Structure 1
Amino acid sequence: MANRIKGITVEIGGDTTKLSKALEGVNKSIKNTQTQLKDVEKLLKLDPRNTELLSQKQKLLADSISATKEKLATLKTAAEQANTALANGEITQQQYDALQREIVETENELKRLETEAKNAGSALQKIGDAGEVLQNVGGKISGAGEKLLPITAGVTALGTAAVKTASDFDSAMSKVAAVSGATGDDLQALRDKAREMGSKTKFSASEAAEAMNYMAMAGWKTNDMLSGIDGIMNLAAASGEDLATTSDIVTDALTAFGLTASDSGHFADVLAAASSNANTNVSMLGESFKYCAPIAGALGFSCEDTAEALGLMANAGIKSTQSGTSMRSIMTALSGDVKFCSAAFGEMEIATSNSDGSMRSLSDILADCRVAFDQMSESEKASAAETLVGKNAMSGFLALMNAAPADIDKLSSAISNCDGTSLSMAETMQDNLAGQLTILKSQLEELAISFGEILMPVIRDIITKIQGFVDKLNALDPATKQTILKIGLMAAALGPLLIVVGKTI
């Protein structure tokens, strides 16, 4: 591929770069996804009906399709610009033809991935249809009481799995307790909430506990976590992001903006609305907020206005770390005097603060800046942007100034009316077979925890007795231990006990 696009450049978001450089990130993403797909395919050959592997394959194919579409869009943008470059003698006919071949290959790869994704979905559907058959078989088995004895081994395995699941959940909640300091009724309330979320969302109770751990690390207390986790889990489900990562994004940003845990639901809706109405996603917005949220909060700019500005930058191809650092520089520049000069209007000063000294809203300041820029020549715009925010941030500022009114209105309206967006998106994302299977898996974990909590006191009691017995043996003098070994009393003493433990576990 590198040879086909060698010497080709592309302009995206006002910045001109080599096409190979512009595709570097998406190619890396495609390569990583393909590596994971090969691993999943290898395992599926051993277990073709494994629903977990099939669900992973479907998600990886969806990610690969998304990345390939992004790559194809960039290639087609480059092809449009290459027409002019060829006419001007800036590239050769061979370079132009090679670029066209690269587009054809990418289109064919996209078709292949879409076909494979359709086949993967069909495989999951067949497994779902088989569920009704299994249910009928189960009914017949339950009607034949004398044939139920062989199921004893399965019940024993279920007990072992239940104890393991409950133990893992306990371990996760112990981390929450250690970091948050929650005890007694507070810890029980957190346990109940984690299990509630595990029983009704795509995430398990253990994953909910892990999200709580991030909240605790951000200084959230019991009531904060109880009121804030719903919004975070809805956002994670809506965006497809990892739950712990989403929790980290929300807690960090809320702290930076000076908001509280009770605002987490609204903030999640803001991110959901911005990501679904601009060319970005929650993960990239979270990375952007990491750099600009602290100064936005310090200046009193709202999370809504900040998300709108980041979304407008994303529409021009400026995202993630780049948009975050650009926005940080822009906000710093807007905190002082802002003056523009142009042959059209002479000198214009933009008011950035109110009469009481507080900052005006970021959207209002940028709207006034656009009034000035609309009257400038192209060279004046570039000069004014560089003077105000510097070379590194000027492309981001120009993206804000050149944003289409329709795009601004669309994004602003979506964010202004965002309440409930993350929940609605989460429900839509789960309204399919793969989503139902994922929720079923979480529900089964909650069932296992319920069984495990019944069995664990018995197991702990047995283990305590074993520990007491071992302590007594350890306390014996060496001569007595040697005598026990010689006459075989150790086997006689431990044999029945080990049988009991083996049956229980």
Structure 2
Amino acid sequence: MAGTTVGEIRARIELDMSNWTRRQAQIRNDMAQMGRSSANLSKQMALVQKASLAVGGAVVAGIGVSVKKAADFEEAMSRVKAISGATGQDFEDLKNIAAKMGAETKYTAVEAAEGLQYLAMAGFSVKAQVGSLPAVLNLAAASGEGLGRSADIVSNIMTGFGIKAEDSGHAVDVLVKAMTTANTDLPQLGDAMKFVAPVAHSLGYSIEDTATAVAKMSDAGIQGSMAGTALRASLLHLTNPVGQSAKAMKKYGIEVKDAHGNLKPIPELVGHISKKFEGMTSAQKTAAAAQLVGVEAASGFVTLLGVGEKGLRNYSKTLKEAGGTADKVAKTQMDNLKGSFEQFTSALDGLG
């Protein structure tokens, strides 16, 4: 260090001290950043952990819901199996149609299985249940009634008229046409047919002619069981007249059978009696009807006389040509946002 002055030595020491101070500040700054990074990392890890738990919970919840839906479906199908006695491939066919309808319609597979239960309770074979379920779904969608209730109503009516399962689509079309063109609904039609269908069928009357009479009574406010009992009483009095009914038939010259000895169709029968009552006042017609078919059935029968043979025949023809009505009405009912959402959620339910 020879030749180095005291001033130079002092200046170098001061420079070294300044550099050391800056390094110490940098070290402290680096340590502070590391601390902040560590804290931030901890927060991020906590968020990841929470997100993982949330996702895991959703997955677990989804699995739980799916398992419950599957369990509900299996339980519903077990009831179908117990009622129908189906085993093997027959039972698989029932499961497949319920699952298929659950995926393609607004109704879930469990609801479709409920429909199968009612069809099985009505004595439908496995083949008949599989073939009838789509029509029952259309009926439920068109009427707004529950699937089980709809299946119960249509199966009872079909049994009452002796309608075969392969004709369930037509039976449903007739019912939907009647309830969309007359002052009645599906439960009221079911109540009416419950009383009159077996009698009408035994007399050879079709579902169309019977539904026509019920519909026209309904338009006059005689609905449900009232229409059914009134029509049943009228038919029984006319086909097996005793007492006052027999006297009235003789008095007015009423013939219920045609030239071939067959019972006249309802429109023709009403037209025949209407002619016999020509020239009467409304009060006289009501009194004559009460004597002919009984007091309780008189108001309903007078209503049919007012509609007349032509009106009854034309409406019955409309019901006979009702093919495709249920499907059309059901699709119209579902052609909206709510309907689309119901179909979507039903499909998700099936996926579950």
Same fold (TM over 0.5): yes
Indicate which of 173, 178, 190 corresponds to 1:269: 173
Q: Percent identity?
A: 37
> Is 1:228–1:261's contact at 8 Å kept on the other side of the alignment?
yes
| Greater relative contact order (Cα < 8 A, sep 6+) | 2
- Hey, what does 2:202 align to over in structure 1? 298
Q: Kindly indicate whether the alpha-carbon contact (under 8 Å) linking 2:107 and 2:346 is maintained by their aligned counterparts in 1.
A: yes
Q: Does the residue aligned with 2:254 lie in a helix, a strand or coil?
A: strand
- Distance in 1 between residues matched to 2:346 and 2:107, nearest whole Å: 6
Seen in structure 2, the aligned counterparts of structure 1 residues 409 and 220 have a Cα distance that, compared at 3 Å, is closer
Q: CA RMSD in A?
A: 2.4
Counterpart Cα distance in 1 of 2:303 and 2:246 = 19
How big is the shift at 1:303? 0.7
- Of 255, 267, 276, 1:350 maps to 255
Residues 304 and 281 of structure 1: CA distance in aligned 2, closer, same or farther (over 3 Å)? same
1:176 aligns with 80
Return closer, same or farther for 1:195/1:395 CA change in 2, 3 Å cut-off. Answer: same
1:337-387 superposed Cα distances (whole Å, 9 cap, x missing partner) = 688979xxx8432333562x4433222212222333344332331121011
**Cα separation, partners in 2 of 1:151 and 1:410, compared to 1, 3 Å:** farther
Rounded to whole Å, the distance in 2 between the matches of 1:409 and 1:354 is 20
Larger Rg: 2
Counterpart of 2:284 in 1: which secondary structure? helix
Give the distance between the partners of 1:198 and 1:310, measured in 2 at CA.
34
Aligned-partner residue type, residue 297 of structure 1: H
* Residue of structure 2 in register with 1:385 after alignment: 289
Residue 439 of structure 1 deviates from its aligned partner by: 1.4
1:269·1:420 contact (CA, 8 Å) conserved in 2?
A: yes
1:279 is aligned to 2:279: no
Match of 1:359 in 2: 263
Query: Over residues 420-475 of structure 1, what are the superposed CA-to-partner deviations in whole Å (9 max), with x where a residue is unaligned?
Result: 10110000001111111211221111110xxxxxxxxxxxxxxxxxxxxxxxxxxx
Q: Deviations over 1:317-339 (max 9, x none)?
A: 00011111111101112213688
CA distance in 1, matches of 2:248, 2:185: 37
- Seen in structure 2, the aligned counterparts of structure 1 residues 402 and 171 have a Cα distance that, compared at 3 Å, is same
* CA displacement at 1:242 relative to structure 2: 1.2
SS of the equivalent of 1:318 reads coil
Q: What CA distance in whole angstroms lies between the structure 2 residues aligned with 1:354 and 1:177?
A: 51
**Given that residues 277 and 414 in structure 1 are in contact (C-alpha distance below 8 angstroms), is that contact kept between their aligned partners in structure 2?**
no
Greater mean alpha carbon deviation, residues 363-372 or residues 223-232? 363-372
SS class of match (1:402): helix
Structure 1 segments, 4+ long, off by >6 Å, are: 338-342
TM-score, normalised relative to structure 2? 0.79
Distance 1:438 1:374 in 2: 55
CA distance in 2, matches of 1:305, 1:340: 27
Question: Structure 1 residues 258 and 353 mapped into 2: Cα distance closer, same or farther (>3 Å)?
Answer: farther
1:339–1:349 CA contact under 8 A, matched in 2: no
Contact 2:267 2:309 in 1 (8 A): no
Partner residue in 2 for 1:151: 55
- 2:247 and 2:302 map into 1 onto residues whose CA distance is 14
Equivalent position amino acid for 1:176 in 2: V
Is the contact made by 1:203 and 1:439 (CA closer than 8 Å) also made in structure 2? yes
User: Is the alpha carbon distance of 1:188 and 1:371 closer, same or farther for their aligned partners in structure 2, counting shifts above 3 Å?
Assistant: same
Task: Give the Cα–Cα distance (whole angstroms) in 2 for the partners of residues 419 and 301 of structure 1.
Answer: 19
Distance 2:196 2:227 in 1: 9
Distance in 2 between the 1:354 and 1:148 partners? 86
Task: Find the aligned partners of 2:63 and 2:69 in 1 and give their Cα distance.
Answer: 10
1:326 aligned onto 2:243? no
**Contact 1:340 1:348 (8 Å CA) reproduced:** no
What are the ranges of 5 or more consecutive residues in structure 2 without an aligned counterpart? 1-49
TM-score (norm 1): 0.56
Alignment of 1:24-173 (within 5 A): 149=52, 150-173=54-77
- Check conservation: 1:277, 1:410, Cα contact below 8 A: no
2:238, 2:256 within 8 Å by CA — same for their partners in 1? no
Q: In the superposition, relative to structure 1, how do residues 407 and 365 fare at CA in structure 2: closer, same or farther (>3 Å)?
A: closer
CA contact (8 A) 1:200 1:443 kept: yes
What residue in structure 2 maps to residue 417 of structure 1?
Answer: 321
